[in-house]
Amino acid sequence: MQKLILDTNVVVSALIQKSYPHYIIYDYVFRGGVQLCLSKALFEEYQEVLFRPKFARFPDFTSNADIVLNQLAKIAVFYKPKVKLQIIKDLSDNKLLELADESHADFLITGNSVDFTMSDYNQTRILSPRSFWEEIHY
């Protein structure tokens, strides 16, 4: 089974519009097509970001965020990264590479092409939601 890490921006996007991030979470992750990898730090970031007041303007965002977070927590395998990295300029994003290092994830899905300029990190391929979705469906 493939291992997948979702950047927070992918989860946010999935709750705002029905596009590639939405399909990845609802039609792939929730249906058991992949093992979701999380760390405590990444899950805490999900919680902090998803409940920011600015997202309350989207219909049902808060209630849907609560449902998605609960489901992700249930199905994910939690890892405790042992290595601290300082590879990405936005230091908070290094937690994703730390998780990739610990979990040996196959994919890290992110919409952040500014900070994630590399196509892979060790064994983990770094893809946009669209690239990942197109790859698993072709």
91-125 residue pLDDT tens:
678 899 999 999 999 999 999 887 778 788 899 99
Neighbour count for residue 3 (Cβ, 10 Å): 19
pTM for the full predicted model: 0.93
CA distance 131 to 135: 6
Strands in 15-135 per DSSP E: 35-39, 77-79, 107-109, 120-121, 124-127
So what's the pLDDT on residue 98?
93
Regions of the chain short of the pLDDT cut 50? none
Q: How far is CA 120 from CA 19, 58, 97, 107, in A?
A: 24, 33, 10, 9
- 8 Å CB contact between 7 and 108: yes
Residues for the chain: how many in total? Answer: 138
